Each structure stands twice: as structure tokens, then as C-alpha cells.
Amino acid sequence: MAFFVHPARDDISLVGVLNALGDPARLAIVKNLAEKPDGMSCGGAAPCDGMARSTLSNHYRVLRESGLIFQVKKGVENINTLRRDDLEARFPGLLTQILKVAD
């Protein structure tokens, strides 16, 4: 019943990842997702309320295109999941370290 909204990209670049995380809203989303291995909906992981839905949608697109997350459609929601293993394989220790200092 759940299927990928987009294929998960496999050529993750360091600049892409850093650029994606170099925005307060996206870093907040990733921090939220880091605590939920099973993923969260777009609204659920939102960095704040009051942000336009279209803006939020753009942030999720950047996160997806940078390879930080993947999205599966489940019913009416998109479930976003942090690609910890893929990132660990590509850039060992990087995401862990960033999340650690992001407390």
C-alpha cells in the first residue's frame, strides 16, 4: 500500500548534503526525522507552524534530491524517512556528527 513518491537518488554529493542542511527549516526537519526511524509525515516533521505548505513542500524536495530522505506515500500522507544507512555508507560518520553537534 505504501510506494515511493520518487525514486531515491543514489549519487549523494557532499555539497548537496551540506547545502540541504545549511537551512534552519531543513535542519530542523532532519533533526525531527532522526528521532523517528519509521518516518514522519511532512506536516508531522514540520519545523514550525505558520510556514506555507508550498514552502514546506519545497524543503522536502530539496532534502529528497540531496539524498537525505526518501518519501513513500501512505494513504493521504507522505512518510519521510532519513536515509541513515545510505548516508553512513557514502559519508561515514558525517550525519551522526552533524546531529550530535546540532543537539
Partner DNA sequence: TCCAATAGTTCCGTATTTTCGAACTACCGT
Partner DNA sequence: ACGGTAGTTCGAAAATACGGAACTATTGGA
Instruction: Decide if residue 11 touches a second copy (CB under 8 A).
Output: no
Q: Is residue 86 part of the contact set for a second copy (CB under 8 A)?
A: no
Q: Which residues contact DNA by CB under 7 A?
A: 1, 5, 23, 25, 41-44, 51-62, 71, 73, 75-78
CB under 8 A: which stretch of 1-9, 46-54, 73-81, 95-103 binds a second copy?
95-103
CB of residue 19 vs DNA: minimum separation in angstroms?
8
| C-beta separation of 82 from 69 below 8 A | yes
What is the C-alpha to C-alpha distance for residues 13 and 5, in angstroms, rounded to an integer? 21
Nearby residues of 45 by Cβ (< 8 Å), 6 or more positions away: 29, 32, 33, 36, 80
The cell numbers describing 31, all together, are: 533533526
Distance CA 99, CA 72 (A): 23
User: Counting contacts by CB under 8 A, is residue 27 touching a second copy?
Assistant: yes
Q: 84, 94 in Cβ contact below 8 A?
A: no
Q: Is 63 in the site for a second copy (CB under 8 A)?
A: no
The least distance separating DNA from the CB of residue 82, rounded to whole angstroms, comes to: 15
Cβ of residue 27: shortest distance to DNA, in angstroms? 12
